[in-house]
Chain A
Amino acid sequence: MSRTIPARRGRPSAAPMPQRKVSLSLRLKRISRAWQLYVLLAPALIYIAVFKYWPMYGVQIAFKNYNPVDGFTDSPWVGLQHFIRFVNSYQFGQVVGNTLWIAVLGLLVAFPIPIILALLVNQLQSERFKKFTQTVLYSPAFISTVVVVGIMFVVLSPRSGLVNNAIQLAGGEPIFFMGSAEWFRPIYVISDVWQNAGFSMIVYLAALAGIDPALHDAAKVDGASKFQRIRHIDLPGIMPVVTVLFILAIGNLLNVGFEKALLMQTPLNLSTSEIIQTYVYHAGLQQAQFSYSAAIGLFNSLLNLALLLFFNTVARRANQATLW
């Protein structure tokens, strides 16, 4: 069965059945009637064809020795050479480890905080305070990554920074935060929470607003405390949204924060701040090793995809909401 379907799709004209012909012409008629819709869709389709699928087609250079004259298609094949070189390189363990570290740390810390914030904001009595909190908490999302990292550099500066002034006031020694490998991960995650928790909270607040207030009234009548109502009504109520966002976060696990990591890099913290994507950037665009870095990028994408598929399956097994 599964074999016949693609065959039919592939060669519709080869099917001699009269019934097929009718449905085909009917289909063509429907398509031609909707031509204006296709025109509307055309720019978006051209966009993904050129900027998404063409680069995807170009990924084959990960298995080739790319040279600009031959382009994607005609460059000579070299098999898995670039992957083997990457896996055997001394940076491999460090770069993959660093990536997983900040990805997992980011997920564990940065994912639950917006949920907690939303639950707390949602039960506030005063509408005005609610709105104020919301606005303030999500305002950093509108500050650019460049400026956020710029803020880090000035606030954490060892000579004049706010934080080190406070440390010295308390009698401690100043710390060169941006130039130390140990501090890269904490700063990365804390700044992520600082910048994005408020914005992520909005989605959960929207989901919370959709919960039937009758449930809360009923629970109140039954004598449930606020905490119990959050635990048994609010949390289950937003669980589908949480699951979907969690799977999406997993799907982007290894992609997020690349720009920030790149901006936060200093020669002194490279041993923790060099992640797969920044390594791709350095090897590929700064040293022009296109095939080698494309192979590393592909390795990253595949790892990501595998994680996504794995967690989607887990969610389905657990009868939770899934992406598909």
Chain B
Amino acid sequence: MSLKTSPRTTEYSHRTVKSRRTKPTLRDRYGDRVFNIAATVVLLLSILAVVYPLYFIVIASVSDPNAVYEGKVWLFPSGVTVEGYQRIFADSRIWNGLGNTLVYTVLGTAISVTTILCGAYALSRKDMPGRKVLMLLFVITMFFDGGIITKYLVVRDLGMLNTVWAVVLPSAVGVWNLIIARSFFEHTIPNELREAAQMDGANDFKFFFKMVLPLSKPLIMLMIMVHVVAQWNSFFDALIFLNDDSKYPLQLVLRNILIQSDVSSTGTTGGDIQSYAAAQRIAELTKYAMIVVSSLPLMIALPFMQKHFTKGAMIGAVK
């Protein structure tokens, strides 16, 4: 059965179409229904697999640590307590990290988005001499790079180690984002518009800032969100370029507490085994709360961001 051919419906009269449709669909409806059910079950299971761990973290974060420890927490929190959250909010490292992350996110996003939008627009202009060669210069870096060692040495030679710049500059421009922005401009800004603007005496700057940018709001939103999420979640540049704890972004603070199990905040100094075990349980509780607190801002913003990210995928797919 060749199904790849173009629609043949028009060849048939209305009646034949109808008679042809009813018979096979009746027969196949059973198969389709089985397929539908199977697909729905698979998707529901996937949803469960994604949601349950997150849900568990949330309920564990407000449960009595002993109940979690003994495996009594499955669907509902037990022995509700907010001690984990109290401990987090009393921890100055968290606040400090959060403050740093905000600074890095705002500054980094501003730098990245400005650079990408301006650069991508220039590269989208087919009348810019040398466009292809310049584009190639960018694309090459997608497939070959100097590695982290030489990057580290360059940042060190620039005197940026342990400064804000080491966090916001070395990964500022992703070529993939540049390509997405470029193809957005290519597809949404008609040439005629530019020619008309040029007739009216607008130069390239004027046209870009007064016409192109106001027409590119979806792209700008997408770029801002991509970079906010990336900066908020990034830790590696901070890990290799910063060595002063007071400059650590939230993610690096989280790493030290969640993964390296740095329990200094819980104040375990010696004591007997029992109080040590209790402190351990409190530390675990704090970890659950910490996961919730650090992920919550983006999760709340998610429904709002979804629209833009889906659009972004469309732009990417067009390319």
Where the two chains meet, the residues of A that have a C-beta atom closer than 8 Å to any C-beta of B are: 27, 30-31, 34, 36-41, 43-45, 47-48, 50-59, 61, 66, 71-72, 117, 120-121, 123-125, 133-140, 142-147, 149-151, 153-155, 157, 159-160, 162, 165-166, 168-169, 194, 198, 202-203, 205-207, 209-210, 214-215, 217-229, 232-233, 236, 241, 251, 259, 262-263, 277, 280-281, 284-285, 290, 293-294, 297-298, 300-301, 304-305, 308
Contacts and interface: CB of A to CB of B under 8 A. Distances in A.
A219 B134 CA distance: 46
Contact of A154 (B152, B254, B284): B284
A133 B43 contact: yes
B99 interface: no
B284 A56 contact: no
A194 B145 CA distance: 29
Nearest to A290: B149
A164 B49 CA distance: 17
Nearest to A130: B43
B256 to A, nearest CB: 10
B192 interface: no
B82 interface: no
Interface residues of B, number: 116
B137 to A, nearest CB: 7
Count chain A CB atoms within 10 A of each CB in B4, B172, B252, B261 and give the residue with the most: B4
17 contacts: A30-B129, A41-B122, A41-B134, A44-B173, A48-B138, A52-B145, A61-B153, A120-B39, A137-B46, A144-B251, A203-B316, A226-B31, A226-B36, A233-B3, A233-B4, A259-B235, A280-B147
Nearest to B16: A221
Given A55-B154, A207-B317, A218 B295 contact: no
A236 B4 contact: yes
Interface string B91-127: 0000000000000000000000011101111110101
Nearest to A9: B133
A206 B39 contact: no
A219 B240 CA distance: 56
A233 B36 CA distance: 17
Given A44-B116, A223-B20, A145 B150 contact: no
Given A143-B298, A159-B280, A215-B7, 17 more contacts: A52-B146, A55-B150, A58-B154, A133-B43, A144-B254, A145-B233, A146-B251, A150-B259, A194-B53, A198-B50, A202-B310, A228-B3, A236-B4, A251-B142, A285-B148, A285-B149, A300-B147
A20 B252 CA distance: 58
A53 to B, nearest CB: 8
Contacts of B46: 117, 133, 137
Contacts of B158: 50
B221 to A, nearest CB: 16
A282 B288 CA distance: 29
Contact of B53 (A57, A59, A66, A162): A162
A137 to B, nearest CB: 6
Contacts of A165: 71
